[in-house]
Amino acid sequence: MTSYWLMKSEPSECSVDDALAAKNSTVPWIGVRNYQARNFMRDHMKPGDGVLFYHSSCEEPGIVGIAEVASTSYPDPTQFDAKSHYHDPKSRPEEPRWHLVDVRVVRKTRNLTLSELRTTPALEGLTILKKGNRLSITPVEPQHWRQISKLLDKP
């Protein structure tokens, strides 16, 4: 059964355009340093799962692309790189703390803004809209995926 996810990325770190420009429109989802978000990637995501590519920490946050999980999880190599912003000196190659999945962008969409998501009654309960939610990766219910897909098809 296909699962659905919303994955946030800062455009200055990896934008939907950066992902589209990558080989096979696929990027490793590096740098996640939250255990719950890591657990989603490591324990629950599987190739073919749907992804809403979300730009955060920008002028107009919102969903900017449809993507899919393109790999099973594997250790995030940035945790072992002392020069990386995401280096974790407590993580060891024989026992990595942090995992990632590869994400392949299927298509770029219009920016379905956070304010538009908030004003759509059919999206009530969408995790990103819950007060206090700051996770970079959240599950998306199938009915929310369908509603967002319809909204993205509108001009």
- CATH number where 67 lies: 3.10.590.10
The pLDDT assigned to 85 comes to 94
User: Cα(128)–Cα(8) distance, rounded to whole angstroms?
Assistant: 10
- For residue 1, the model assigns a pLDDT of 81
What pairing do the DSSP bridges indicate for beta strands 26-28 and 102-113? antiparallel
How much is the pLDDT for 112? 98
Domain that holds residue 97: 4-153
Q: Which two tokens stand for residue 65?
A: 């692309």
State the amino acid at position 96 in one-letter form: P
**Half-sphere exposure (Cβ direction) of 42: Cα atoms closer than 13 Å:** 15
Residues (pLDDT < 50) of the chain are none
Q: Is the dihedral of CA 92, 85, 72, 125 positive or negative?
A: positive
Sign of CA dihedral 100, 101, 102, 105: negative
pLDDT in tens, 71-81: 999 999 999 99
Question: pTM of the predicted model, to two decimals?
Answer: 0.96
Rg for the chain, CA atoms, rounded: 15
d(CA 103, CA 29): 7
pLDDT tens-digit readout, 13-32: 999 999 999 999 999 999 99
DSSP 3-state percent helix, strand, coil across the chain (nearest 5): 30, 30, 40
Backbone phi and psi for residue 23, each to the nearest 5 degrees, phi listed first: -55, 130
**Residue 152 has which token pair?**
């993205």
Q: In total, how many domains does the chain have? A: 1
